[in-house]
Structure 1
Amino acid sequence: MMHPLNKIDEQALVTEILLSDYRTADIFKKYNIDYCCGARWPLQTACEMRGLDVAIVKQELEEAVRTVQISTALPFTQWPLDFLADYIVQVHHSYLRHTLPVLETHLANFIAEHRKKFTWLDELQQQFTRLHAQLPLYMIQEEESIFPYIKQLNRAWASKDSLAGLYTRTLRKPVEKVMDQEHQLIMGVLHRMRTLTNDYTLPANACRSHWVVFMKLRELDNDLVQHMHLEKNILLPRLLTIEGELKRA
């Protein structure tokens, strides 16, 4: 049971809290509170059974469901490249670093309990594992090499640095190659996960763990699509334009 301002009633059933917002699953998992089949305890009772401080758990649940709205009208194309690169790191890279290990745990637990029921789950896990293995490597490469180069080149171009043209010859990074590899991996995995899950559509007999996993996969899918759009359609074209101008100069 949810109240105004995302307040959670400690007398509400764990299952009711979960169904009001799938993001609460992370907190229940953290404290080993069962939220799936057969979980019919009120939050306060579930906490007392495990020796937990219900006030602390309740606070974390309320923080988990607090919604931060990001306007779809943000002028990404008008942002300085430095700011856009920082936005990608602070928003999308931070999201992935938090989400991937948490989702891996939810997915592994769900698959262990339902592998015989859904034959495609092993491949779904394999596809997700590809993402989890490769994305951190790409993010490190972007943060330590690609984005610093973009920022340096953008500052030199904006300030009309006389050495700016030299940077494109001596410091140039394989931006297109790295991003193309990253995006091909992501799109290949997302396409296969969408096919396996019928676009994250729940079957009629889906349990709560099934619902949580699909909601989290859909959220990951949406974030990665936005992430790729910013890099492929805004950041990269503007970088190539700057490089072209500096080379001609």
Structure 2
Amino acid sequence: MQMPFNQNSLVKDIVNIFPQSSDLFKKNRLDFCCGGNRPLSDAAIEQNLDVPALMNELEELYKKHNGKAENMEVWTESDSEELIEHIKNKYHRELEEELKMLSPYVTKVAKVHGDRHEELLEVYELFYELKKELLEHTAKEEAAVFPLLLQLEAEEDEKRAEMVAEIKALEKEHDHAGSILKQLREITGGFNPPIDACGTYRLVYKRLEALESHTFMHVHLENNILFPRYIA
């Protein structure tokens, strides 16, 4: 997959195109915020980094986060075990990683800019509420609900009433997560940062918007493809 940037691209432009690159830059102490207005190669050389090696890492990260769009038809035709494994590997694991990596950025922006942009304090509260909700939700799915779904594949009807109740509870949790995301979108004006926003501020909004998209697709696979198989 061809990356839409190279070692001569400005660091800030790379982060704007591919927000997850900020994690790699942060790890390597490359300033993508105030010092992002220079080519990646220059910034890397200043930190005594191997530019080709850095580009290889960046390419692997880009491939990981920017694969082909989800093909829903594939999953409507798949069996439940395969679909559940896909949800766990594609959505649960990536969600856990993104929530972990995004947390310090949300905290930093709220602390640094919250006095002038009070909406960031609410963004902070909502983000951590969403994080807690989603992590508890996915843990419950993997520990209890998904195994029960697969058990029903082999043992008809005995636990179906219990399963329907579990699914309804999960759908309510999905609704709550969606409500939090809606509030985040409203508070941030559609994830549009103000004119005076720094690079990290803008990064947080971009990644929150990506998190919204990722979560909506995750919920779609469960609510509209997986769960109806058991409550129809």
Does TM, scored on the shorter chain, surpass 0.5? yes
The answer on whether the counterparts of 2:191 and 2:209 sit within 8 Å (CA) in structure 1 is: yes
- Change in Cα spacing, 1:174 to 1:56, as seen in structure 2 (3 Å) is farther
Stretches of structure 1 that go unaligned for 5 or more consecutive residues are: 157-163, 242-249
The answer on whether the counterparts of 2:114 and 2:121 sit within 8 Å (CA) in structure 1 is: yes
Counterparts of 2:6 and 2:76, CA distance in 1: 43
State the match for 1:119 in structure 2.
Answer: 118
Counterparts of 2:127 and 2:224, CA distance in 1: 25
- How far residue 73 of structure 1 moved from its aligned partner, in angstroms, is 4.6
- AA of the residue aligned to 1:51: N
- Change in Cα spacing, 1:108 to 1:48, as seen in structure 2 (3 Å) is same
State the match for 2:148 in structure 1.
Answer: 149
Counterparts of 1:192 and 1:9, CA distance in 2: 36
Q: CA RMSD in A?
A: 2.4
Once the two structures are aligned, what percentage of the paired residues are identical?
Answer: 27
- How far residue 168 of structure 1 moved from its aligned partner, in angstroms, is 3.6
Greater CA drift, 55-64 or 143-152: 55-64
Stretches of structure 2 that go unaligned for 5 or more consecutive residues are: none
Q: TM-score, normalised by structure 2?
A: 0.86
Deviations 1:72-102 (A, max 9, x none): 4524333222222222111111111111011
State the match for 1:129 in structure 2.
Answer: 128
Deviations 1:138-161 (A, max 9, x none): 1111111100111111234xxxxx
Aligned with residue 186 of structure 2, among 178, 181, 195: 195
State the match for 1:104 in structure 2.
Answer: 103
Specify the SS of the correspondent of 1:126. Answer: helix
- How far residue 167 of structure 1 moved from its aligned partner, in angstroms, is 4.2
Counterparts of 2:80 and 2:4, CA distance in 1: 39
Deviations 1:101-124 (A, max 9, x none): 111122222223222231110110
State the match for 2:217 in structure 1.
Answer: 226
State the match for 1:165 in structure 2.
Answer: 157
- AA of the residue aligned to 1:64: L
1:36-75 mapped onto 2 (5 Å cutoff): 36-66=33-63, 67-75=66-74
The answer on whether the counterparts of 1:111 and 1:122 sit within 8 Å (CA) in structure 2 is: yes
Q: TM-score, normalised by structure 1?
A: 0.81
- AA of the residue aligned to 1:26: D
- How far residue 7 of structure 1 moved from its aligned partner, in angstroms, is 7.4
- How far residue 49 of structure 1 moved from its aligned partner, in angstroms, is 3.1
